[in-house]
Structure 1
Amino acid sequence: MSAEIGTGRITTTPKPDIGLSETSIQGVTAILSRLLADEHVLYTRLRNYHWNLVGMAFGPLHALFQQQYEALADDIDDIAERIRMLGPAAPGTMTEFLQLATLAEHPGDLPDERGMVRQLVADHEAIIRHLRQDLRACDEQYDDMGTSDFLTTLMEKHEKMAWMLRAHIEERNQG
């Protein structure tokens, strides 16, 4: 692996010979790059809410938000490394993340604790919906069962994180 001087781009020599076509590698890395961007938006939102949370649920939510952004930090690293395993450079700037992300930023919007939890649940669920489509595409369209399996694991993590958050805003049925 060598860096092209002055370009900031990474070139890999030799290219991975792992049984995937160039088209498959491009398709899979596009999926992973979008996921990496969405994870960064969610990570940043979790940090923002962790820092700016107030109210009666401060203690448990503060800890839960920290637990989730720490888990996402590990996942973010794994996603970028998965991209690199396939050959291309991983996106790594905020500009790239905001261009690639499907999750929207909401500058200046700081909801109350229930609103924070609702927004985080919506973000996790949006990522889950994308992951369901993407893991099928990786397997069926791009013949990359390894990435499909990797995405399945990430989807299951997001399902658990969404559930943990939803439990804070669910109302007990009094009937």
Structure 2
Amino acid sequence: AFSASAMVILSAFFVAALCRWALAVEYDPPDCSERADGHYGGNCLSKFHTCRAGHVITSHCPHGLYFDRRNKRCDYPSTIDGCHHLKNELEAPDFDCDGLRNGPYSLPNTICSPTYVICHNEVASTRACPNYTVFDEEGHVNMQQLYICVHFPFTGMRFDR
């Protein structure tokens, strides 16, 4: 017979192995040969997969955003069921809006960034551009990355808008 402590240790190893297996399954690309075109991935992960014409493309959400399996898009963790525990680096920017007019601003020391800051009544909040676009401070718009940056840190297909 096993002692109580041996059972606890055995249970802990089983749970750890099960968790590692579950994460590995969610990270594995799907077999797209018989799947409908679309986005697939595990909830609350920064990585997701897109099936297009039987082929798989692995992509990553913009920094601070995570894949929402139900809505099939990258979003803030606070808006995704079951992801509230994740830290959202975009919701609390290190940006000083004191003395600045209300409106959008580039993050300091960034070029071709997919995120930007909105100052409203001297309070900063960070926003993400639509996937595969970057913020253009000159025109205060989200520009298609293809025309702004040659080397962009994201890969994959654009989401439906």
TM-score normalised by length of structure 1: 0.24
Query: TM-score when scaled to structure 2?
Result: 0.25
Greater share of residues in helix: 1
More strand by share: 2
